[in-house]
Amino acid sequence: MNISASDRARLLKAQQGELDGVVTYLRLAELVSNETDAKTFKRLAADEGRHAAVFKQYTGEVLQPKRLQAIAVALAYRLLGKRILYPIIARFEYSAVPGYEQLMKDYPEVGSVKDDEKRHGDTLKALLGNGEYNDAPLILPIASVALLVFSIFYRRRMYHGQSDRFLKGTDKTQEG
């Protein structure tokens, strides 16, 4: 099959994205605190592996997954928790659909990948409805610590008279 350079680049990018999805979903399966989500992520990882194989049929390239996405998503899970992260991942799944629709015109096997991407987005949204929120996002404790540090810093500035310029500026404005 004769593939244009631009199509080859798009196919390679899709193949890499699917491979990265495999390690990302497997990492999430290790992190999540309930079995329903873990099993779902393992199934999604298997799907992503099949998708990578579809693209490999066209590219002929053996690619290696890049782990940066998996690390970033794991960190986001720890910070944000499932209620915030899952919809974000679902949007990424949905956003792949239009690009895959274009590829389907010349590469019909991509159609099954496109359909799965939509299903993946729907699956992630459905996980939010299972009522199992056993994750403990760190964003609130981090924000609390940041607020505490800011408050201490601000009070120290007030105590040492470093904020007098603000107070004097306010007083002058009120006098004038």
pLDDT of residue 157: 59
CA 96 and chain centroid, separation: 14
Q: Judge if 85 and 158 occupy the same domain.
A: no
133 assigned to some structural domain: no
Q: Judge if 106 and 50 occupy the same domain.
A: yes
pLDDT of residue 170: 55
d(CA 23, CA 67): 7
Q: Judge if 123 and 156 occupy the same domain.
A: no
* Domain region containing 104: 5-128
Burial class (CB in 10 A: 0-12, 13-18, 19+), 163: middle
151 assigned to some structural domain: yes
Q: What is the CATH number of the domain that holds 21?
A: 1.20.1260.10
Under a CB-based contact definition with an 8 Å cutoff, are residues 127 and 40 in contact? yes
CA 125 and chain centroid, separation: 14
Vertex 135: Cα angle to 132 and 139 (nearest 5): 135
pLDDT of residue 52: 98
Residue type, 45: A
SS3 content of the chain, % helix, strand, coil (to 5): 80, 0, 20
pLDDT of residue 84: 87
48 assigned to some structural domain: yes
Segment-wise mean pLDDT, segments of 10 residues, the chain, 176 residues: 92 97 97 92 98 97 95 89 91 95 94 96 90 61 66 62 54 49
Vertex 37: Cα angle to 123 and 35 (nearest 5): 145
- Identify each DSSP E strand in the chain by its residue range: none
Q: Judge if 27 and 112 occupy the same domain.
A: yes
Q: Judge if 65 and 145 occupy the same domain.
A: no
Q: What is the maximum alpha-carbon separation in the chain?
A: 82
Q: Tokens representing 30?
A: 């290790």
